[in-house]
């Protein structure tokens, strides 16, 4: 009898465990629950970039159960895959954001984050702070559902650019295919239309006369898209060499107008914060191909870039993302410049192609006091494409950049460019600019007390490395404060003509260059 009772009890326990296991399986199936212990187990494409937007949360209870109970239906997930994380993945994403130490009674005490499609595996552990669930400090996170539909996750900004031959009609298309007219969609970059929308929303652009649909696009990420593409034009009567000589002489005179300096050399090299780099890289990756990447508008607008020889492409950055990036980078630039600054502009992403050159120049004097060159991506280069920067004594430095590197520079004072043609591949940059707060006449003023003295005399300098060795101390001077970036050519400019001779010396032959109205 006792043996029989014991057997019945064992069976009851086994049934109970089985029912519990079946319940867990049912719940997991109902919530499409997936658990990963390593970020490498997230869905990445063949290039090592996240192939879908992900909503990540802790796999451990009670947070797991609380989050899963709050997950909206699939339509309102805005193409985010919910994935629970534990182990190394949880430490990487939430190591400094553990659950509240107080009793966890609702989802507001549980960490969650939205990971952006397109982010590199190596940067997946660095979401922007704005991507985390933060109900205590973010009014958009009043509920978990609000978090999923906010700028942190499903809400995005998208830019539409029209390069078709005429003004088009723009429509929003609902899930049933019904169209709502939005506005006349005018031509060229100056008429770019930015919309705040959601991942999964659909837009069309149509010829108002024929009804032909020239664009039918469903938004998959924050970005931009073009209807057709721009084609640049240059006046065939322009003498490129003479125009370049004139431009370089003008740039030399402009840089002499700036009285104030900020640092000893006028430039330096640094590194992006990981989370900003992750965001920029994901945006670039998602928008890297046409029709998201378009020809930058130059037409007959000078010779700053050699658009008649090499494509110069452009990816429009939506305003919301631009504000986030520039605000984060302001702190980095401000520390380098040593004074309080304000945002004035961010430009890019500009993608240079093989053969591209950027004429030596300075930037807008009122607004571009201190700036950053940000390298987002590059590939298939057969030799480094150095940033050429002239210091306060007009000595040439050539700086090698890798993705994620930044170059600080006093952009209205320090002449800069890329005179050597890009050897193979492509090169994508962002440029962001600042000035002293509320001071458009900053450049006319004396340096404030405490400003670093410009480094003028560094003694004798000699080549100790190789003639093609950059950013590695190939040139040694008696004063080591000059740093490792001096050009192996040991070149100092004294006039606009010197800049022109440098441009000629490192450029291609002009045998096939545009010289007159009938020559190409």
Q: Both 159 and 125 in a single domain?
A: no
Long-range CB contacts (within 8 A, 24+) of 37-41: 37/85, 37/86, 37/87, 37/88, 37/89, 37/90, 38/87, 38/88, 38/89, 39/85, 39/88, 39/89, 39/92, 39/93, 39/121, 39/124, 39/125, 40/121, 41/89
CA proximity to 379, closest of 354, 398, 356, 359: 354
CA dist list (Å): 447 to 337, 366, 372, 436, 451: 12, 16, 21, 12, 6
- State whether 260 and 402 are in the same domain: yes
> Could you give the 3-state DSSP secondary structure of residue 88?
helix
What is the rounded distance in angstroms from the CA atom of residue 45 to the CA atom of residue 225?
A: 22
Domain boundary among 117, 149, 181: 149
Domain end call among 96, 121, 149: 149
| pLDDT (0 to 100) of residue 238 | 87
**How does DSSP assign 395-450, residue by residue?**
BEEEE---TTEEEEE-TTTS-EEE-SPP-SSEEEEEEEEEEETT-TTGGGSPPPTT
Give yes or no: residues 430 and 335 share one domain.
yes
Instruction: Write out the two tokens for 99.
Output: 């659950």
Residues 123, 159 share a domain: no
Pairing status of strand 80-85 against strand 35-36: parallel
**What does each of the 520 residues of the chain score in pLDDT, given as a tens digit?**
445 555 555 555 444 544 443 344 334 444 457 999 999 999 999 999 999 999 999 999 999 999 999 999 998 999 999 999 999 999 999 998 777 666 777 899 899 999 999 999 999 999 999 999 999 999 999 999 999 999 999 999 999 999 999 999 999 999 999 999 999 999 999 999 999 999 999 999 999 999 999 999 999 999 999 999 999 888 888 899 999 999 999 999 999 999 999 999 999 999 999 999 999 999 999 999 999 999 999 986 789 999 999 999 999 999 999 999 999 999 999 999 999 999 999 998 999 999 999 999 999 999 999 999 999 999 999 999 999 999 999 999 999 999 999 999 999 999 999 999 999 999 999 999 999 999 999 999 999 999 999 999 999 999 999 999 999 999 999 999 999 999 999 999 999 999 999 999 999 865 434 333 222 2
Is residue 191 in a domain?
Answer: yes
Paired with 83 in beta bridges are: 56
Residue 105: the pLDDT is: 73
Q: Specify whether the CB–CB gap between 186 and 170 falls below 8 A.
A: no
Query: Per-residue b/e over 33-55, b at no fewer than 16 CB within 10 Å?
Result: bbebeebeebebeeeebbebbbb
pLDDT at 32: 56
**In a shared domain, residues 291 and 179:** no
Same domain, residue pair 324 and 391: yes
> Is position 460 within any domain?
no
Position 109 in a domain: yes
Identify the CATH number of the domain in which residue 392 sits. Answer: 2.60.120.620
481 domain residue, yes or no: no
Same-domain status, 375 and 495: yes
Angle, helices 240-255 vs 496-506, to 10°: value is: 130
Estimate the crossing angle of helix 274-286 against helix 319-337, to 10 degrees. Answer: 140
Residues 365 and 449 in one domain: yes
CA-CA distance, 76 to 113, in Å (whole number)?
Answer: 16
> Does residue 479 sit within a domain?
no
**CB contact at 8 A, 374 and 272:** yes
3-state secondary structure at position 259? coil
Domain membership flag for residue 33: yes
| Structural domain boundaries, residue 201 | 155-227
pTM for the full predicted model: 0.90
pLDDT recorded at residue 3: 52
Q: Are residues 109 and 208 in the same domain?
A: no
For residue 227, the cross-strand partners are 162
DSSP strand E in 125-260: where? 155-162, 168-173, 179-185, 193-198, 202-206, 213-218, 223-227
Q: How many CB atoms lie within 10 A of CB 195?
A: 17
Cis geometry, peptide bond prior to residue 62 (ω within 30 degrees of 0): yes
pLDDT in tens, 41-91: 999 999 999 999 999 999 999 999 999 999 999 989 999 999 999 999 999
3-state secondary structure (DSSP) of residue 101: coil
With tokens 């740039």, the residue in question is 251
Name the domain boundary from 174, 204, 227: 227
Assess if residue 473 is contained within a domain: no
Which distant-in-sequence residues (6+ apart) come within 8 Å of 184 by Cβ?
Answer: 167, 168, 169, 170, 208
- Distance, in Å, from the CA atom of 291 to the CA atom of 277, rounded to the nearest integer, reads 23
Place of tokens 């945006």: 283
Residues 57, 184 within the same domain: no
Distance CA 119, CA 126 (A): 9
Classify each residue of 102-131 as buried b or exposed e, where b means 16 or more C-beta atoms within 10 Å of its C-beta.
eeeeebbbbbbbbbbbbbbeebbbbbbebb
pLDDT value at residue 44: 98
Total structural domains within the chain: 3
Give yes or no: residues 119 and 219 share one domain.
Answer: no
Rounded Cα distance, 38 and 42, in Å: 8
Looking up residue 180, the CATH number of its domain turns out to be 2.60.40.780
- Asked if residue 283 and residue 141 are part of one domain, the reply reads no
């Amino acid at each position: 009898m006792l043996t029989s009772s014991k057997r019945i009890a064992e069976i009851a326990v086994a049934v109970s465990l089985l029912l519990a296991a079946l319940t867990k399986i049912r719940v997991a199936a109902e919530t499409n629950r997936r658990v990963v212990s390593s970020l490498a187990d997230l869905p990445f494409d063949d290039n090592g970039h996240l192939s879908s937007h992900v909503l990540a949360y802790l796999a451990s209870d009670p947070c797991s159960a609380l989050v899963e109970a709050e997950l909206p239906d699939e339509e309102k997930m805005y193409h985010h895959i919910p994935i629970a994380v534990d182990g190394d993945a949880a430490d990487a994403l939430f190591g400094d954001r553990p659950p509240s130490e107080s009793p966890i009674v609702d989802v507001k005490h549980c960490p969650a984050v939205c990971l952006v499609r397109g982010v590199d595996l190596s940067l997946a552990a660095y979401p922007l702070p704005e991507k985390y669930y933060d109900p205590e400090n973010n009014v958009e996170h009043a509920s978990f559902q609000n978090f999923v539909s906010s700028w942190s996750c499903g809400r995005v900004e998208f830019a539409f650019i029209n390069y078709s031959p005429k003004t088009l009609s723009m429509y929003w298309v609902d899930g049933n295919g019904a169209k709502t007219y939005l506005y006349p969609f005018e031509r060229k970059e100056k008429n770019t239309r930015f919309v705040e929308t959601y991942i999964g929303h659909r837009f069309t652009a149509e010829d108002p006369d024929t009804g032909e649909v020239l664009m039918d696009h469903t938004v998959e990420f924050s970005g931009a898209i073009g209807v057709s593409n721009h084609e640049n034009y240059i006046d065939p009567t322009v003498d490129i060499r003479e125009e370049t000589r004139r431009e370089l002489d003008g740039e030399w005179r402009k840089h002499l107008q700036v009285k104030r300096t900020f640092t000893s050399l006028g430039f330096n090299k640094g590194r992006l914060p990981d989370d900003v780099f992750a965001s920029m890289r994901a945006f670039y990756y998602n928008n890297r191909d046409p029709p998201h990447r378009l020809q930058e508008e130059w037409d007959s607008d000078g010779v700053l870039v050699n658009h008649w020889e090499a494509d110069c492409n452009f990816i429009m950055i939506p305003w919301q993302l631009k504000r986030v990036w520039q605000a984060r980078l302001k702190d980095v630039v401000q520390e380098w410049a040593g004074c309080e600054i304000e945002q004035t502009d961010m430009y890019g992403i500009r993608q240079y192609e093989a053969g591209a050159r950027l004429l030596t120049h300075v930037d807008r004097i009122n607004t571009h006091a201190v700036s950053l060159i940000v390298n987002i991506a590059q590939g298939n280069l057969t030799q480094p494409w150095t940033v050429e920067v002239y210091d306060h004594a007009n000595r040439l430095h050539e700086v090698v950049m890798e993705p994620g590197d930044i170059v600080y520079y006093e952009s209205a004072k320090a002449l800069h460019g890329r005179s050597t043609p890009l050897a193979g591949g492509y090169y994508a940059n962002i440029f962001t600019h600042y000035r002293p707060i509320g001071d458009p006449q900053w450049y006319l003023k004396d340096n404030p007390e405490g400003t670093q003295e410009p480094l003028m005399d560094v003694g004798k300098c000699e080549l100790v490395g190789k003639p093609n060795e950059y950013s590695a101390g190939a040139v040694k001077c008696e004063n080591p404060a000059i740093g490792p970036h001096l050009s192996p050519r040991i070149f100092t400019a004294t006039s606009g003509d010197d800049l022109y001779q440098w441009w000629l010396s490192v450029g291609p032959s002009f045998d096939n260059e545009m010289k007159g109205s009938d020559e190409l």
